[in-house]
Structures are given as structure tokens and as C-alpha cells.
Structure 1
Amino acid sequence: MQSQDAVPPSVRSSSPAGPGVDVEQAEAALVEHYPRLVRLAYLVLPSHTGRSRRVLTAHSLVQRALPRGRSPVPVLPAQPAGRAGDAGYALVRLRVVRTALEAGRPLGRGGLPRRSQLPPLLPQVWGLKLFPRPGGADELALDQRLSALSGPARAAHALRGLERLPDGDVREVLTAAGVADVDAALAAADRIPDAYRLLDSPEFDPCSLQARPTDLLRRRRRLRAALVGGTALVVCGTLLGLPGGGWGPDGAAAPPYPRDPAARAALDPGKLTRVSPAAWKTSARTDFSVWPARGGLTGDRALLRRALTVWARPGEGVEVSATPGTPSGGPAGPPQLLYAGTVDTARVVILHDGLRVVRYAEPRDGDRGAVLDFARADGAGRGGSSAVVLSRTDGNVRYLTAPWVREAGERDLLEPGSGATALDLADGVTPPLAGPAARRGSCTSWNVLELTDGTGTRLVTDLGELVPARLTTGRPGAVTGAVGAKALRTWAPYACSLGALRSAGVRSVNAWAFAEQPLPGAGAAGRGSTRPQGEAGTAQWVCTRAETWRGGGARVLAQFHTPGARFGAVAAKAEDVPACGEREPGVLAGVLWKSAAGTWYLLAAGSRGTVSVRATGGVEGSVRGRLLTLRARQGARADLRGRLEDGRSISGLR
């Protein structure tokens, strides 16, 4: 079977430009083809700026080529070498060419310069000059000829030689990039002999670089001036840190220190709540309130004081983050200490005030660069308080587990047949394991944390927040932990869709296989038929619902998975709806699908209790039952409506 083109009938665009490109799709194309895009930008940029700045500018332009949201797909030519039909690559390439052309234009009088015309803020390299490895005489001659051309002519030559585009397609790209006289650019590019093979030379590769020092004498003079200025700042800082004012004793906190007795008591390390290590064994509650204080720095009063004062008054240099719906104000009273210790290269303090879990982290060698994270955790329960994130370093995650956790393991959610790798716990702290929250590019694995205690086993995953989200399966109202062979097989095709839930305050995510639908074969019946003459296997419909800590803002995805496909396709999504939840378990969704014979169909499925389904709009038809199969046109749009056993109406998820 050919790969399906799963598109929700209610949102599929019928315009010539096609659907839009998500920032995730553009990012995947940028990461995959980054060296080619940087080489393209380097060739289009003028050479008079110097090779070192030209290299950094090329990298900067490509790294800024991501769209901010969903952007229209440019009607541009198909790509060779694995880029055929890649709308994300076409969009990013167009943005690179456009900004590279802008960067080469001279600054106008009286007008403000564009961002691309200014020196790049990032990346920056101090004390070194970076430039590509030199080529031979042919490459040098080609570089001199290119430098004599205009920016559009250089772009035309690069698109011809580097991208292997015919002239007609080059015209489309240059026109979309804002070139006024495309014919003149092509004519100027014609004056350069056919030396396209030289464009792949290291001479034009800004990703393979040599480094040399900058002007050493000038650096020495600047260093002396910087030392004088730094000494003056130290003297001023010492004066500010004297009693009666300043922020010296409070680390990265902002002044002034509070005078109110209640506020001062909340910031006193000696008044922190510390729970007995055995309290959770006899307590009626099993949540963060019965976690004992752990870690090697629980007696470091100076560290705890800095953590409390920064929480109350974070200074300008403190990076503060909070999950949606979480207040970031100071503690109302002395909070509970959960952890204080050294983790990797940082000192970390975890605190809890009944509503929030708060993480303070500072570098081991000072308090500059402190971080303050807030996560809502009220009503966490045993499953929701099984672990918190201690640190993220180089894409790896360390967790602090609850005192009742007996065993911990690491599991790849995309490989349901593989076992979990056991993790050694040191005072509740896990070793570093690969975290999916910082993943970029293609999704090849999704590692989750498996926790076992006296009541069972649970799976949690890092979604870029302080408290990991719990994974469950089953019909709403009767969900269970995502453990066991069947639950793991249910989750495997949809694990990568968890990336869309990062930084949304997600508490738990449930995957529910609500329907299975036979796929029509080559001999399907005509328009309106619900029993095609042949089947190409059975597809699975799964609803994933993400519940948040704040209650509202739940996200629902209806996903469609065909036999032989590794990943499911998102057919419909919604936010703040009761569908697929405990209050309203019912769900109805549809998708446009192309068979192996090239025929397009509208497939729709409802959950158990759906007695009829009707499609209107671009596709018309109905069926008694909960599975609908109709012949359709590519790009058709349809509205779905179903009826439940109790007579209520249900609309298609969108």
C-alpha cells in the first residue's frame, strides 16, 4: 500500500498553494539540510564583508529562517536528492535566499536598516576568525567572478548549480524572493562558465572551517580596559552588599529585603518545613506533602536563603518559567523542602507550598545565571507526585522520584516489544536518561520513565516542565496506566505526537483506541457506498486527550494509523472540548485517505454508541452504524455529524 495522505476533511485547503507549513515541519527540513542551506546563503552573500563575517552571517540567516507560525507553502519546484515534495524545505530555502539578498543591499539614506543588513547577534565567536578551507586556483577564480556579480545573479548561479534547478524554476524562486529583474540576473549568471561542480568545494562550505586568532595586540589593550571597568563594578557591588541595602546576601534576588515579619519568616531557611522520611508510610495522603527533604545540601542555609529570596524577588538576571495557569509570586509562608543538592554542574533546590512545586538552580561556581521554575501540582495524588525533574543537561534528564518508588526503568515508547532498562536510584535520584522534550528533527525514539511502587507500575514522560506527565490508556472513566503489552502497542504509533504538548501544563495523556475501520481496496463500490468490494487491511482510530493541571485547556487529538505505517497521522485536533473525556467519552473524526490504486476516500469513525454518521459539504453520504467510507476528491472538505444511541447529536472533531 502506498503511504496515506491523511488530512482532516474539514481543514484541508483546496487553494493552489496547498496547506500551510507548520514551524515543526520547517524546522525538520532546516535541520536535515542545514549544511546545504548555509552554503547557499554563503554563495549569495557579497564577499566584500570578509570571509569571517560572511560565514557567521550565513549561519545567522539560516538559523533565523524558521517561520513564526503556520506559513503558506510557496508554489516552487520539486526538489532532487530526497527533497521532492518537501514543502518545509521549499519555504526555508526561499526565506534564506530572500534574506541573503537583503543582506547584500547597501543601506539606504534616511531609512532604517533591515535586520539581515546588520551584523548577526548570534552566532558570535570571540578571539577567533573563522573561514572555509581554501580551494585551488579554479575555486579562487570562481569566487572572484561571483563577487563581481549582483546578489540576484549570484543567487541564480547558486540555484542552478547547487540546487540543480532549471531556469524556469529559478525564475519562480527569484520572483518569490522579491527580485525585480529576473531576466537580467539570469543573463549576468550566464557570463560565468559552467563551473557548477566547484560549488561543492570546501572553498564554499561554511560548515567546514579553519580558525585563526584575531589582532592580539588590540585584544590586549581591550582586556586592560575591561579589567579596570570590572574592578570598578566590584567596588560598587561591595558597597551595595553592605548591611542596610543591596542584594549581596540574597544572591540573584532583587532588592529590597522585606520588612514585614510574615514575609521575612517565609524567607527564613530555619523555618522551612521538613517531613520525616517515614511520614508517607502512615499518612492518609500520598503526594508531595509527605516527601522528605533529600540531597547533600539540605543543611546549606546560605543556598536555601538564596533560593527563597530569589523565589520572592527574582532579579533581572534570573530566568523564570512557569507552566500555564501557575502563579509565580513568592511564598505566602514557609514552604516545604523536598531537595537540596548538587546535580551535574548546578546546585538545585526543590520546594513545595501546597499549590506549586518550585525549582531553583544556580551554577556550582556562583549564582549568576540562576533559574527559577514553577509548576502547578495541587491535587497531584500518588501518580502525579511520583517524580519531578531535577535537571536537563545536553538533552538528558535527571529525576527525583517519590520515596515510595521501589524501582525505576527507562523505556522507548516507540519499541513496545523491548524491555525497560533498569535504573539505579541514589537517594531517589535517577542517572541521566535521554529526554524527549528537547528533541529536534525526525522522531526516532521517545524515552519514558517507568516507576514501580507498592501499588503498581506507571509511565511518565518529560514534556519540558518540572512535573512529568503520566501516560494512561483505556476508555475515559476507566483508564489505567500505560503498562503491559497491549497498552504499549497502543501508544507506540502515537508517541511522537507528545511533542506537540510540550510546555502546556499537561498533567496526564490518555490514548484510547475507539474504533477499527476496514480500508477500501481497488474494487470499492461507488459514491455513497459503505461496504467496498475489497479491503486493504484495517486502520486504527485512536483519541489522545491531554489533561492539564489547571483543569481547562485540555487538548484532544484524533489520530489515524494504517497497517504498515510506523506513525499515526493526526486527523483532527481540538482544545477545551469535552470529547474523548470522562464527561463526554464520545468522539467522531474523519480523514481523507488515498488507496493503493490512487483513489481518494473519506473515512470517518465514531466511538461505541454512535448509531449513524453523515457527511455534508464537499462529500455527501451517510451510513447506519459508526463507520463511514465514501469516495471523494483530493482536497475535498466535509462536515461530519453523528447520532448517539440516546438520540443526542455529535459533531466531527476539528
Structure 2
Amino acid sequence: MAYFVLPGRGKRVYRLAIARRIVDGAARGARDRSAAGHARWRTRVLRRALRPSRRLQIGLGPWLRALPARLPDPALTAALSRLAPHVRAAYVLRHIEGLPRYRVRDQLIDLGVRDPWSAIRAAEAVRVPVPRGADRFGPETLRPVRNRSVLPLATAAVLTAGLVGALVATEHGDAREASARAPRLVSAAPDAWTRGARTLDAWPARGDLAGDRAFVRRAAGAWADASGGHRAQERGAAGGTAQLLYAGRPDGTPLAVLRRGDRLARYTPGRLDVFPAGTGPSAPIALGGGRYLLAPWDSRPETLDGERLAVSGGVTAPVRAGTGCGRGPLFHLGSRTVGDLGGPRAAVLTHHSPAWRPRAQEPERLGKEGRRVWDRLACATPRPARPVAEAMAFDFWSGRLPHGGGSADWVCTRLAYAAGGSTAQATLLGAKARPTGACDAGRPVSGTWWQAPSDRWYYLAAAGRGLVPHADGVRRSTTRKRLLVATGTPRTPVALTAR
């Protein structure tokens, strides 16, 4: 991994020697053998490979003498060297290491990449030559790095043998201790949802690894270790149990999804992620790679174009939002449309036109106009800090902005969180998406200072049907078709009401 991420300058032998030196140096501080410790080790290796120090080129002799007999295909190295550093890292993680997209995103964030999805999309669009030579270096192909005399090496070998024995005994003891405090795994009967309430408790365990007891016990043990054992039992379900929802290989990598109360854990070998996810019974669970685990009673998902979306064992074929940020509408489930807003579960997305009146009603599928609005809103809305169960976009004003501003929509977006509570924010969708503060979906009104194409500043405000906006703190103002246009000093605070 370090070899392919390094900048593509110089000879392959020097590049490989530097790569191994980076790994050896990072390994000296990697005493933590847990999943979190391994993740920190990988981050150190990648960080040093992306920005290698010139000091790594000094004293390379021992690493040059330890090179394998077979080197990687130079065509592959040359193709990768033409990529931007973070795109190169994303390519290596995705295509050579085989990590799912969500884990590549998390790793790039750890490396300080501000827009990881752009790097991932660029990496997925790259076409590189199929390597003719080896693209991995296992222990059997690497020679030992001999940069000390034989006597210290012999002494180290004896000490290492004793240390390995101690580690084996310790790991066996740790395994027994983790097994003792790991939560008891339970799963619902395959037809439980047909005989009782449709809740998360009725979701059966699915996936081709659901019967692999060793794998799912490792997942449960990793959760116990990460949560501190006793604290996890206090926060979890009664009796210290965890529900197995999925265990399989959706992206080629073994994955287990467990549930305790309102929290989900997603486990892959070497990594565990825990999310607050609520207890909503029907929200699809993200498995990574654009695949979603559906509720057992949701069996006929459709694409946004109305075509059948393939499902195997309760898991959808890969489907992603068609937006630049990777968030937005995904697919239809019955009478509702679900979308990705950045959380562990898909959220129900709805849209209402300016003629809508707030009232209790069942969610309806997004139509063409609703998808257009949500394709823009999903990227304009900040990534929610909490998992979202439902998101409603009320397009309370639509028209043309003054002074050549073009057509626009003013939208009040209400997010209902999986754990309870909600927030609502307004957004002016014109040539650019502009957040305009909090709003009330029952009596929407919002305003903002706005710069016209002529570079002059105006204060704009709009209100929902049956309301008229009123602004204090501006100079001359006119209101037409529920749109207020005023002059004044830009950025001056304005008191806005609707009457």
C-alpha cells in the first residue's frame, strides 16, 4: 500500500525500499494490536507515504538489500503516479486493498482530506493497466532487513520467540475474557415479522455468514471491547444481548451488522463502527458500496425511474444518489422514497409544492419536481449530526428573483431525527443554494441579503401561501406575490415576521 501511494518519481527499487522503511518505522510505534490500533498504524503509513520526508532516502542500504526478486509492473506504477496524491490513496484503498467505499471515506477523512467523496469518485473513474507482476508483497516474498550485526539479531530472535509465546498465551487469555463479556447474540425467526408487530426486533439475520458462529462472535466481542464490556451491557438491551441483523460479504469483505437498543454496530475484520440509529422498523440499513439491507416486508424496491431494483437475500443491488456530494434520493419503497442523508440508515424523503397545507398524511413518492429539489437540497443541507428518520422539503415560494436573478425556490426543510426531535432550516435555491436560517414549516417565512447580477445588494424575503412577509431594519421595500424586495445596508440585522 505504501509503495503505490508514494509519489511516482525515481526508480522502483528506491521507491519500494522507502515504502518498506515507512512501514517498518510506523510498526515500531504500533504496539496496540486492537482494531483501533491497526487503523492508527495504517493511517501513519499512508500519511508518511503521501508526504515522504527526504530523510527516508538516507541510509537505504539495508532496505535495498532486502528487496524481493520480483517487482511490480512499471505500467501500473506510472499510471498511478499521474494521479493527485489523495486520488492515488483512494485508488489504492478501493481497488488494491479492496475496502468498501465508506471505509475509504473514513480513512481519507483521517488523513485530512476535506472532500473525500470527490477523491473516491475520481479514483473509481481511473482506468489503469492490468498489472503483469506482483502487486502485493506477502511475508514469504520479503527478505529480512539486516541493518545490525548477527549477534544482536540472534539475541533478538531468541527474545522474539519468547515474546511470541507470551503473546499467544496472552491473546488466548484475552480471547477468553472477551468471550466472557461479549453480549449474547440473538436473532429473530425468519417468519417472525409475519406473526407479530413489525419492529426491528422482528428483522431476521440475513447474509451468507449469518451461520458462521466464529465470525459473528468476533463481531460481538469487538463491540464489547470497544464499549468497555460492562458499560455496553448497561446501555444495551436487557440481559446483555445483541441482535444479529446481517453477516455476509456485500462488497467482498466480511461484514456483520449488530443491534443493541437504538444503536447499530458495523464490523469488518480490523474495524468497528457504532452509530445511534433509532428504532424505526422500516428504514433500510446501509451496508456500504451503495447496498442496503431492507426490512423483511419491503421486497419490491424500484429505482427512481420506476424500474425494478434487484434484491438478493434482503440486500439491494448497488444504488447511489445521483448528486455530486453522494447524498440525495436513492429508490422507492412502496409509497415512499428513501434517500441517503449521510447516516447509517436511509431516510424517508418527501416534497410539497407551495400549495401544500400542513396536515397529517402518508408519505408519497417523490415525483420529478421533488427529485429535482432534493438533488439540490441534499448537497446544500449540512450533513446532519444525528441520524434522520424523515426529511420533508416544503417548497413554500417559487418564482423569479428581481433584477435578473432568474428563477428560484425557497424551501423549508424539516428533519425528523431517529431518536426524536426535529429541526427546520430554510434554503434559497437560485443560481446557487443559499442557507437562510431557521424556519417554521407551519408558517414558513425566511429572508436574506442577496447580491443581484448587477452587484447591488437587496434584502429578499418570502412567506408561505396566505402569509405576507414584513421586515424591520431595511429602507425601501416592496412586496409582490409574497416576495419582499428591500434596499439597505448589506449584512444589517433584520427583524422578519409573517402576517
Could you state the TM-score of these two structures normalised by the residue count of structure 2?
0.61
- 2:472 equivalent in structure 1: 615
- 1:540 equivalent in structure 2: 409
Aligned pairs (5 A) from 1:127-526: 219-221=145-147, 231-242=161-172, 246-249=173-176, 253=178, 257-258=180-181, 267-269=183-185, 272=186, 274-283=187-196, 285-314=197-226, 329-333=235-239, 334-362=241-269, 369-378=270-279, 380-381=280-281, 385-391=282-288, 396-411=289-304, 419=305, 422-434=308-320, 443=324, 446=327, 448-453=329-334, 456-463=335-342, 465-474=343-352, 476-478=358-360, 480-498=363-381, 500-521=382-403
Which of 569, 578, 587 is residue 434 of structure 2 equivalent to? Answer: 569
Q: Post-superposition shift, 1:427?
A: 0.3
Q: Post-superposition shift, 1:449?
A: 2.4
Between Structure 1 and Structure 2, the one with more helix by share is 2
- Of structures 1 and 2, the one scoring higher in RCO (CA 8 A, sep 6+) is 1
Whole-Å separation in 1 of the counterparts to 2:243 and 2:488: 60
Whole-Å separation in 2 of the counterparts to 1:488 and 1:540: 14
Whole-Å separation in 2 of the counterparts to 1:350 and 1:517: 46
Q: Post-superposition shift, 1:450?
A: 0.8
User: Which amino acid is 1:516 matched to?
Assistant: S
User: Which amino acid is 2:331 matched to?
Assistant: E
Q: CA 1:620–1:339 in structure 2 vs 1: closer, same or farther (change >3 Å)?
A: same
- 1:638 equivalent in structure 2: 493
Q: CA 1:329–1:608 in structure 2 vs 1: closer, same or farther (change >3 Å)?
A: same
Q: CA 1:462–1:432 in structure 2 vs 1: closer, same or farther (change >3 Å)?
A: farther
User: Which amino acid is 1:640 matched to?
Assistant: A
Whole-Å separation in 1 of the counterparts to 2:294 and 2:183: 26
Preserved CA contact (<8 Å) 1:346 1:361: yes
User: Which amino acid is 2:274 matched to?
Assistant: D
- 2:426 equivalent in structure 1: 558
Preserved CA contact (<8 Å) 1:590 1:602: yes
Whole-Å separation in 2 of the counterparts to 1:276 and 1:341: 18
Q: Post-superposition shift, 1:340?
A: 1.9
Q: Post-superposition shift, 1:496?
A: 1.4
Whole-Å separation in 2 of the counterparts to 1:512 and 1:492: 14
Whole-Å separation in 2 of the counterparts to 1:409 and 1:544: 25
Q: Post-superposition shift, 1:124?
A: 1.9
Q: How many residues are paired up?
A: 367
Preserved CA contact (<8 Å) 2:390 2:416: yes
Q: CA 1:376–1:636 in structure 2 vs 1: closer, same or farther (change >3 Å)?
A: closer
- Identity rate, percent: 28
Q: Post-superposition shift, 1:605?
A: 0.8
Once superposed, which parts of structure 1, at least 4 consecutive aligned residues long, lie more than 6 Å away? 128-131, 222-229
User: Which amino acid is 2:180 matched to?
Assistant: Y
The root-mean-square deviation of aligned C-alpha atoms, in Å, is: 4.4
Structure 1, residues 189-230: CA drift from partner, whole Å, max 9, x if none? Answer: xxxxxxxxxxxxxxxxxxxxxxxxxxx999334796887665
Give secondary structure in 2 for the equivalent of 1:501. coil
User: Which amino acid is 1:467 matched to?
Assistant: R
Q: Post-superposition shift, 1:518?
A: 4.0
Give secondary structure in 1 for the equivalent of 2:207. coil
User: Which amino acid is 2:293 matched to?
Assistant: L
Whole-Å separation in 2 of the counterparts to 1:331 and 1:294: 20
User: Which amino acid is 2:447 matched to?
Assistant: G
Whole-Å separation in 2 of the counterparts to 1:626 and 1:290: 49
Q: Post-superposition shift, 1:619?
A: 4.2
Gaps of 5+ in 1: 1-37, 39-50, 57-119, 132-215, 259-265, 319-325, 363-368, 412-418, 523-535, 645-654
Q: CA 1:595–1:632 in structure 2 vs 1: closer, same or farther (change >3 Å)?
A: same
Structure 1, residues 205-256: CA drift from partner, whole Å, max 9, x if none? Answer: xxxxxxxxxxx999334796887665444312222245xxx21246xx4xx9
- 1:71 equivalent in structure 2: none
Q: Post-superposition shift, 1:542?
A: 0.8
Q: CA 1:230–1:350 in structure 2 vs 1: closer, same or farther (change >3 Å)?
A: farther
Q: Post-superposition shift, 1:424?
A: 1.9
User: Which amino acid is 1:402 matched to?
Assistant: A
Q: Post-superposition shift, 1:613?
A: 0.9
User: Which amino acid is 1:390 matched to?
Assistant: L
Q: CA 1:312–1:619 in structure 2 vs 1: closer, same or farther (change >3 Å)?
A: farther
Whole-Å separation in 2 of the counterparts to 1:421 and 1:220: 61
Structure 1, residues 391-443: CA drift from partner, whole Å, max 9, x if none? Answer: 3xxxx3321111122233555xxxxxxx366532110112334468xx9xxx3
Q: Post-superposition shift, 1:541?
A: 0.8
User: Which amino acid is 1:257 matched to?
Assistant: A
User: Which amino acid is 2:217 matched to?
Assistant: R
Which of 567, 571, 595 is residue 452 of structure 2 equivalent to? Answer: 595
Whole-Å separation in 2 of the counterparts to 1:422 and 1:505: 27
Q: CA 1:327–1:335 in structure 2 vs 1: closer, same or farther (change >3 Å)?
A: closer
Whole-Å separation in 2 of the counterparts to 1:122 and 1:457: 42
Whole-Å separation in 2 of the counterparts to 1:346 and 1:228: 37
Could you state the TM-score of these two structures normalised by the residue count of structure 1?
0.48
Preserved CA contact (<8 Å) 1:560 1:569: yes
